[in-house]
Amino acid sequence: MPSAESHPPLRVALLGCGVVGTQVARLLTQQADDLASRVGARLELVGIAVRDASAPRDPVVDRSLLTEDAEGLVRRADIVVEVMGGIEPARGLLLQAIEARAAVVTANKALLAEDGPTLYKAADDAGVDIYFEAAVAGAIPIVRPVRESLAGDHVRRVLGIVNGTTNYVLDQMTTTGADLADAVREAQDLGFAEADPTADVEGYDAAAKAAILASLAFHVRVSIDDVAREGIMAVTADDVAWAAHTGHVIKLLAIAELRDADRGTGRGAGVSVRVHPALLPTTHPLANVRGSFNAVFVEAESAGELMFYGRGAGGAPTASAVLGDVVSAARHRVLGGKGPQESTYADLAILPASAAVTRYQVRLDVDDRPGVLAQVAQALAAHGVSIEAVRQPSAPEAVAAEGMQTPAAGAAQLVITTHAAPESALAATVEAVAALDPVRTITSVLRVEGA
């Protein structure tokens, strides 16, 4: 490694000075000497683009670096760090940077999940690095392990809690009985919710990360539009209480899995990518991921099961991942070489949501009389959905004591867990069960993962 003095400083442009950008600016300044030693050149922060340069800032930010002229700033950089978010102007600025042969680092999962291939191709054509470790699960090194460390293996499945806000909300609902809206507000105050928390609670943020992870894990192009998505807004306090009663927790999961060809249905091999709330047994490692923490569970053919855990959001944790990328890109500037390119060689279909195969827990209120269970079981069997277990919970007073709603007089509650079944079969089954005369309401249908 050459000494930092023997190489001219590398000019770093920072686009954005919000939750993440402020911490990137702080680390670039406070750790300047260490970074110089690790890179072999000093990293000089040459400007910070913001929307409003006159707005109050954290005192760690050198106000003389602030500018509202992001395009002008990009023209004077060797490395452009984009932490402004959104699609435009972020995409245009990154393309401008790449065209000018600057390396780029971004935390912008929304942009990558929508139009990553345009950026990857531009970077490839220009022979520059594009790094995005912070775009998935904040501080957790997961992009690099999947893209590089597991490049010699075959990943079969990725199961992740990749949105801190929703994990915080579900955890608060589970442990304190908090209301969903209050917990979302707390997450915003703590700095991990997106500016518009709809992106979190409706699952868009997790879907963007799922698309990025699936693309890397399976060497195919997956965009956010390919991801079957369901957020947490329909999860009720009753669902949370029932989950606990049956030995589960509810988590918003991002799932990307390889499905082999199915001779029976003639369906070819493909990749299923989805985001939805799911029941996880309390014994599963992901069940113990609390608060705003994230974790990604990877199953690979040779490596077996791997779990990556840590802070998935917040200014300093995310800035740590950004800085790691800046160091990698900067080292390439000093020593030569280039980071990995997008890999899309795999001939795999992206399967529709209806092809996802999972287990389900269905709760329903039915007339409490003989023969009803048999009718319900018959409706499931008619659609090829096999029952794993049926419970009829105990006395109403015991149910109420655990915070769960009790059925009306003359009704009984059934909790049915199925064996794995395709989403399409389950949807048709639920419709058929709901239409049965003795069925009063389907209280909830939740997927069960991780058993």
Task: Return residues touching ligand NDP (CB under 6 A).
Answer: 16-21, 49-52, 55, 70, 83-85, 89, 107-109, 134, 138, 192, 195, 313-314, 318
Query: How far apart are alpha carbons 125 and 55 in whole angstroms?
Result: 38
Question: Checking DSSP bridges between strand 79-82 and strand 103-106, what pairing results, if any?
Answer: parallel
Q: Would you say 200 or 365 has its CB closer to ligand HSE?
A: 200
Extract long-range pairs of 234-237: CB within 8 Å, 24+ residues apart: 234/277, 235/170, 235/173, 235/180, 235/277, 236/444, 237/173, 237/177, 237/403
**Where do we find the tokens 């927790």?**
249
CB of 19 to ligand NDP, least distance (A): 4
Which does residue 16 touch among ligand NDP, ligand HSE, none (CB within 5 to 8 A, set by kind)? ligand NDP
**Residue 282 beta carbon to ligand NDP: minimum distance, rounded to whole angstroms:** 27
Provide the minimum distance between the beta carbon of 329 and ligand NDP in the complex, in angstroms, as a whole number. 17
In whole angstroms, the minimum distance from the beta carbon of 91 to ligand HSE comes to: 18
82 binds ligand HSE (CB under 6 A): no
Task: Say which DSSP state 262 is in.
Answer: B
Among 120, 131, 132, 192, binds ligand HSE (CB under 6 A): 192
CA–CA gap between residue 353 and residue 88 (Å, rounded): 29
Residue 106 CB, shortest distance to ligand NDP, in Å, is: 7
Residue nearest to ligand NDP (CB): 18
Number of H helices, E strands in the chain: 15, 18
The helix-helix angle for 90-99 and 109-126 (nearest 10°) equals 20
163 binds ligand HSE (CB under 6 A): yes
Which of ligand HSE, ligand NDP, none sits in contact with 17, Cβ below 5 to 8 A by type? ligand NDP
Check: CB of residue 356 under 8 Å from CB of residue 258. Answer: no
Q: In whole angstroms, how close is the CB of 85 to ligand HSE at the nearest point?
A: 10
Known catalytic membership, residue 209: yes
Which residue lies nearer to ligand HSE by CB, 224 or 300?
224
Touching ligand HSE, residues 114-143 (CB under 6 A): 138
Give the residue among 289, 255, 254 at the shortest CA–CA distance from 167. Answer: 289
CB 280 within 8 A of CB 449: yes
Structure tokens belonging to residue 339? 């980071």
Encoded amino acid at 373, one letter: L
From 109, 209, 251, 338, the catalytic residue: 209
3-state SS, residue 183? helix
Nearer to ligand HSE, 205 or 239 (CB): 205
Site for ligand HSE in 164-183 (CB under 6 A): 164-165
Interacting residues with ligand HSE between 310 and 339 (CB under 6 A): 312-313
324 binds, among ligand HSE, ligand NDP, none (CB under 5 to 8 A by kind): none
Looking at the Cβ atoms of 52 and 347, the one nearer to ligand NDP is: 52
Given candidates 78, 82, 129, 194, which one binds ligand HSE under the rule CB under 6 A?
Answer: 194
Residue 22 makes CB contacts below 8 A (sequence gap 6+) with 57, 58, 60, 61, 315
The one among 84, 103, 193, 355 contacting ligand HSE by CB under 6 A: 193
Residue closest to 278 by CA, chosen among 75, 122, 139, 417: 417
What is the spatial distance between Cα 93 and Cα 146, in angstroms, rounded to a whole number? 27
Contact between 84 and 21 (Cβ < 8 Å): yes
Select the binding partner of residue 422 from ligand HSE, ligand NDP, none (C-beta < 5 to 8 A, by kind): none
Rule CB under 6 A: say whether 200 interacts with ligand HSE: yes
Looking at the Cβ atoms of 198 and 424, the one nearer to ligand HSE is 198
Q: 227 with 256: CB under 8 angstroms?
A: no
Residue number with CB closer to ligand HSE (206 or 385): 206
- Which of ligand HSE, ligand NDP, none interacts with 277 (beta carbon under 5 to 8 A by kind)? none
Answer whether 263's CB lies under 8 Å from 246's CB. Answer: no
Compute the distance between CA of residue 81 and CA of residue 58 in angstroms, rounded to an integer.
19
Q: Which residues of this protein are in contact with ligand HSE, per CB under 6 A?
A: 138, 163-165, 192-194, 200, 205, 312-313
- Residues marked active site are found at 209
